[in-house]
Structure 1
Amino acid sequence: MGMNDRIYLIDQMLAERRFVTIPQLLERLEVSLATLKRDLSILRDRMQAPIIFDKELGGYRYEKQDQTSKFELPGLWFSAEEIHALLTTYHLLSNLDTGGLLGGHIKPLLSRLTALLGVADNSIEEIQKRVRIEMMNVRRVQLEHFEAVGSALLKRRRLRIEYYARGTNQTTQRELSPQRLINYRGNWYLDGWCHLRNDLRSFSIDSIRCVELLAAKAKDISEKKLNEILGSGYGIFSGKATQWATLHFTPEISRWVSTESWHPEQKGRFLVGGCYELKIPYSKATELLMDIMKYGAGVKVIAPPSLVDRVSKELNSMLAIYE
């Protein structure tokens, strides 16, 4: 009998009886005392089962619980989607600096996720070795900033922040009405109404230098308008889409790109000869340019002319470095 089967059987015996003695468990499970103690420890420590040894009864039992907090044994096997979700959550939480007020909540949550991922025959270390999620180019976020943003979102209050823009190397004071948090390519962003610019903006949480929760009520923007302005173009700092980019990929690269989702409204088709044509909306070309450049000679920008010119200038600048 495997460990998973034994744990389910122990849970069943404890749920059905007032108490269960050690001899009863050993006889039913057909294991040694050391193995039984290890299984009970896994139930208690990893899976948070409320098991206690009652000296008066001379056996193990579950502590009395109300219906709202009644213990239920979690599934010991996860689907691919569930493993991905658990590991992604684990990595996202691990990437937060665990200082500040939420530190006391993040660490137990990580412990709980570790327990969930380690309830099978293999340990959390074994699962992480066999199923890996590489979070590339992820920037660390200060927990107190993340906490303040989350509080403002839920309480619908404004924020005053000191924001560092890497592109311009400048720091500005902003007052924001936060709208929603987004984790994009492993990094956290805040969509908010900027009262300084009187417009919607996306702010990288890791670029916030100081943050203050204000008493003023946040300005509410409809989800439709948020998606229209910040979700219609390409990339996280998109703005309202104004142009469509047309890209042609070589037959070899097409075998990958044709299965990828670059934008919810993208249009793609195979051309004669095996090339793949991809059309995507964009407003600011910064992020789109980076994604185009990574394919090198495997992609050609067809339209619009402004994007063709920008890619051409970028390639010439790169070439000049090596000449």
Structure 2
Amino acid sequence: MDRTERFYKIQKMLSDRKLVTTEQFLKELEISRATFRRDLEYLRDRLGAPIAWDSDLGGYVLQNTPGENLSALPGLWLNEFEIHSLLSVIELLRSIDPEGLIGSQVNPIRERLEKLLEKGDYSAREVSRRIRVTTLARRNTPTKFFEVVAHGLLARKRLQITHYGRQDNQLTEREISPQRLVYYRDNWYLDAFCHNKDDLRTFGMDALEAVTLLDKPAVSIEEADLRAELESGYGIFAGTKHQIAKLKFSPFRARWVAREVWHPDQKGEIQDDGSFVLSIPYSDERELLLDILRQGADVEVLGPKPLRDAIKTRLMATMKIYD
């Protein structure tokens, strides 16, 4: 057990039992008294952990300030996912209009997150300089629309929206019941029940041309139904009528794709020649087409035939540009 694991174990023991003796620590952590003493000093002095000795009870306790939870030990012992999550949240909060209503409220939250980094062995500035979280093809959403949508979402009110459809280059008026906001591939989307279509729809927040809050109660969809309808397809596109895309990646590209997650229900198999066959469900081919085309000559669509034909049509149209 390394030092980081011991820190978490010490915190958990104190949180679960309220009082822990020295002998209990030594036995469960399997360390010497000298090591335990060094760990305790580091937790108290470097990380500010409120661990105190209670002479009356004969053990260690957490002394939390009233109204504030200090039992969670801060510090920089973060794994890959935690570093990405923490820095992503900080960058997201920084991007909020600092002069706006929300920006002024979240600045203290961002500052506290940055202090989490300061509590560890390295400064927040050093972490931000050495570890970068970058975005690609991010589309801006007008702040005024975002605020109205968020209010309707949480207040459970319907919205009247003007939506720009990129597929047909048309504006449409919709009355919707917002269900949830989704941050996906560096862009915001709104899952909603569309009363005009009598069905669930996903709208790109950047495609909203106008938003009005209506004095009508929103229809609420059960979370399980939302997941079944909106999360079972491929990418951001919804649908429960699935097909299985079968993609064969070259031995070279397989070195990367074999470790990637394209869909929670995917299946993959390494072939004898080193190639990799990936099977993924999809209900709408649009986003899947783009992801396949990004692989260039390192992938072949084995099936179904309509998907293979769609890729062939796209490639032939591309070739005409360069002929």
Global fold match (TM > 0.5): yes
Residue equivalent to 1:252: 252
Name the CA distance, whole Å, in 2 between partners of 1:12 and 1:273: 55
Name the CA distance, whole Å, in 2 between partners of 1:284 and 1:10: 49
- 1:95 deviates by 3.2
Indicate the larger mover: 300-309 or 211-220: 211-220
Residue equivalent to 1:67: 66
Residue equivalent to 2:28: none
TM-score (norm. length: structure 1): 0.75
Residue equivalent to 1:8: 45
Aligned-residue Cα RMSD (Å) equals: 2.8
Name the CA distance, whole Å, in 1 between partners of 2:148 and 2:206: 13
- 1:104 deviates by 1.6
Does the Cα contact within 8 Å between 1:232 and 1:238 map onto a contact in 2?
yes
- 1:6 deviates by 11
Cα shift readout 1:177-210 (whole Å, capped 9, x = no counterpart): 1111211112111111011211110111222222
- 1:111 deviates by 2.6
TM-score (norm. length: structure 2): 0.75
Could you tell me which runs of 5 or more consecutive residues in structure 1 were left unpaired when the two chains were aligned. Answer: 17-64
Matched AA of 1:272? D
Residue equivalent to 1:96: 96
Does the Cα contact within 8 Å between 2:174 and 2:194 map onto a contact in 1?
yes
Matched AA of 1:215? D
Q: 1:241 to 1:204 in 2, by over 3 A?
A: same
Name the CA distance, whole Å, in 1 between partners of 2:283 and 2:211: 29
Name the CA distance, whole Å, in 1 between partners of 2:296 and 2:219: 44
Q: 1:71 to 1:166 in 2, by over 3 A?
A: same
Residue equivalent to 2:86: 86
Cα shift readout 1:220-270 (whole Å, capped 9, x = no counterpart): 112222222211111102322332111111111112111111111112112
Q: 1:99 to 1:171 in 2, by over 3 A?
A: farther
Cα shift readout 1:271-306 (whole Å, capped 9, x = no counterpart): 232221111111211110010011111000011111
Which aligned pairs between 1:124-273 and structure 2 lie closer than 5 A? 124-273=124-273
Name the CA distance, whole Å, in 1 between partners of 2:296 and 2:182: 29
Does the Cα contact within 8 Å between 2:162 and 2:174 map onto a contact in 1?
yes
Residue equivalent to 2:13: none
Which aligned pairs between 1:46-61 and structure 2 lie closer than 5 A? none
Could you tell me which runs of 5 or more consecutive residues in structure 2 were left unpaired when the two chains were aligned. Answer: 1-40, 54-63
Matched AA of 2:67? T
- Percent identity (aligned): 40
Name the CA distance, whole Å, in 2 between partners of 1:66 and 1:102: 28
Q: 1:70 to 1:277 in 2, by over 3 A?
A: closer
Does the Cα contact within 8 Å between 1:254 and 1:275 map onto a contact in 2?
yes
Residue equivalent to 1:76: 75
Name the CA distance, whole Å, in 1 between partners of 2:114 and 2:105: 14
Matched AA of 1:221? I
Indicate the larger mover: 180-189 or 294-303: 180-189
Kindly indicate whether residue 298 of structure 2 is the aligned counterpart of residue 302 of structure 1: no
- SS of residue in 1 equivalent to 2:134: coil
Indicate the larger mover: 143-152 or 302-311: 143-152
- 1:75 deviates by 1.5
